Amino acid sequence: MPRAGLSPDAVVDVALDLVDEGGAGALTLAAVAGRAGVATPSLYKHVRNLTELRALVSIRIMDEISDRAGEAVLGRSGDDALRALMKAYRSYVVDHPGRYSAMMQEADPGVVESGRRRIEAGQRLVDIMLAALRAYGLEGGEAIHAARSLRSAAHGFAVLEAAGGFGLPEKLDESYELLIHMVISGLRTPR
């Protein structure tokens, strides 16, 4: 009986495939094991339990989003950077709606633990947002408020789109353009 050659990363790879195909609900240990060609209990050699696997999946997804966002922002600043960041964010959801919904469900309050690595992954995205906001010259706390608002806008649209919460799929680009415009003009307009 040759070994399957699994690893924590390989298990997450399989989990991502499942989530791509069937949404967050399709992620079960039994399904992962089946696809990996292994008996279910074998997964416990690589992952502590289902909760940890979900956390690892979320971390991977957040990292992927941060990668896209970071790349989009490179070489840009101001409105241009912000617009590119938000578009990159949404593009991830359009490409991988199942993954985005899987990242959601994990963020259930009550599952507060999940470790440092998870917080780091979120922080990285926040840092990218703060960098994109740098050109606006926000003072201390104002930058935090701006990053939170930016995140809320991008995330809110993403959740609704990933869940099919908008009626017609058409014209979603235009709706998103307005949302981007709101963020930018809100930063440009004094309160």
Partner DNA sequence: GCTGAAAAGCTAATGGAGTTAGCCGACCTC
Partner DNA sequence: GAGGTCGGCTAACTCCATTAGCTTTTCAGC
Q: Which residues bind a copy of itself (CB under 8 A)?
A: 22-26, 97-98, 101, 104-105, 107-112, 122, 141-142, 144-146, 148-149, 151-160, 162-166, 171, 174-175, 177-179, 181-189, 191
CB of 42 to a copy of itself, least distance (A): 26
Annotate each residue in 48-87 with x if it binds DNA (CB under 7 A) or - if it does not, as one string.
-xxx------------------------------------
CB of 44 to DNA, least distance (A): 5
The site partner of 44 among a copy of itself, DNA, none (C-beta below 5 to 8 Å per kind) is DNA
* DSSP conformation class of 46: T
Which stretch in 4-12, 86-94, 155-163, 166-174 sits in contact with DNA by CB under 7 A?
4-12
The site partner of 70 among DNA, a copy of itself, none (C-beta below 5 to 8 Å per kind) is none
Nearest to 97 by CA among 65, 50, 54: 65
CB of 33 to DNA, least distance (A): 7
Nearer to DNA, 11 or 125 (CB): 11
Nearest to 42 by CA among 13, 6, 1, 88: 6
Can you spell out the DSSP letters for 131-187?
HHTGGG---THHHHHHHHHHHHHHHHHHHHHHTT-SS-STTHHHHHHHHHHHHHHHH
Report how far residue 82's alpha carbon sits from residue 51's, in angstroms, rounded to the nearest whole number: 34
Residue with tokens 């709706």: 175
Nearer to a copy of itself, 30 or 182 (CB): 182
Cβ-based neighbours of 185, under 8 Å, separated by 6 or more: none
> Six-digit token pair at 69?
């966002």
Report how far residue 125's alpha carbon sits from residue 147's, in angstroms, rounded to the nearest whole number: 10
Q: Which of residues 15-44 bind DNA (CB under 7 A)?
A: 28-31, 37-42, 44
Can you spell out the DSSP letters for 108-145?
-TT---SHHHHHHHHHHHHHHHHHHTGGG---THHHHH
The site partner of 178 among a copy of itself, DNA, none (C-beta below 5 to 8 Å per kind) is a copy of itself
What residues make contact with DNA under the rule CB under 7 A?
1-7, 28-31, 37-42, 44-46, 49-51
